Structure 1
Amino acid sequence: MVHRYLSEEAYWSPGIPRALVDTGIDNALCFGLYHGQQQVGFARLITDYATFGYLADLFILREFRGQGLAKWLVESLFQMEETQRLRRIMLATVDAHELYRQVGFGPSAHPERLMEIHRPDMYRSLSVSDESSPEF
């Protein structure tokens, strides 16, 4: 379900191979949100468990949105001991600024210090044989 959502519905990861999703999950602090046995949401925090975290891949399935679940998920994540000691937690979003403001996020104090390498078409360039490669 997580791979399907990230590869087919999320604007930030169209076409992402399953092997990359699996590797990302294996190397992050992950959270699932369930309605009974059905997973309806997901988030992962990429972290060194000491000073830094990057909140990524947070989503709630469309039919479960509008109930405050994303906010609850982030608030629950931030109540954990592992996240309370982090000095900096970052994220990127196109359309959920208001949600993240409600849980404490704001603009970078020093945006002039932040830099990135952005490769938006990275997953489109991978071949099918690359998807099963153990290097992922």
Structure 2
Amino acid sequence: MTSAPALPTGYEFSADPARIDAERVHRLLVEGAHWARGRERATQDAIVAASRNYGIHHLGGDGQIGYARIVTDGGTFAWLADVIVDPAHRGRGLGRALIDGVLADLEPLGLRRIVLKASDDGRPLYERAGWTPLEGPEDWMELRRP
């Protein structure tokens, strides 16, 4: 594991999949992320199983308070998704630390492109961290299913 990002006292970053609190992550997402509302727990469990998972843990008793995941081919491309920090712990730089930790963990892979779909409230965080709008969006296509 790569070195942990700078965090406020009492918090810890982890790339250890064994430390993911699946119930807590599901609750954080369905209650606090518009894109995950209505997501079934079984679907969330399948998502966790198929992703590289990361957490921010509060050492003072609140357990896992942040989550992010990466979907990747492990060689050229990754998608950052489901980035969330418990509202009670926001405003302390934890979102930025979570993203920094994810990127540090991915660095040895030498990925050429990492993408994300930023929510309106998350966009400033990503822009401050150096993320830019997708280059050549006209080259990208999607297939949506109901």
- Asked if TM exceeds 0.5, the reply is yes
- Find 2:90's aligned residue among 65, 70, 73: 65
Q: Which amino acid aligns with 1:77?
A: V
Query: CA RMSD of the aligned region, Å?
Result: 1.6
Partner of 2:44: 21
Partner of 2:19: none
The percent of aligned pairs where both chains have the same amino acid is 38
Partner of 2:18: none
Deviates more, 1:104-113 or 1:52-61: 104-113
Distance 1:78 1:92 in 2: 16
Structure 1 residue 44 corresponds to structure 2 residue 69: yes
Partner of 1:33: 56
Distance 1:62 1:117 in 2: 33
Q: Classify the secondary structure of the residue corresponding to 1:63.
A: helix
Question: For structure 2, which runs of at least 5 residues remain unmatched after alignment?
Answer: 1-23
Structure 1 runs (4+) deviating above 6 angstroms are: none
Query: Structure 1 residues 53, 4: CA separation in 2 closer, same or farther (over 3 Å shift)?
Result: same
Q: Which amino acid aligns with 2:140?
A: L
CA deviation string 1:74-123 (max 9, x = no partner): 1111112556511111100222111111222111110111222345xx5x
TM-score, normalising length: structure 1: 0.81
Q: Which amino acid aligns with 1:67?
A: R
Query: Structure 1 residues 86, 29: CA separation in 2 closer, same or farther (over 3 Å shift)?
Result: same
CA deviation string 1:22-58 (max 9, x = no partner): 1111111100110015111000011111111000000
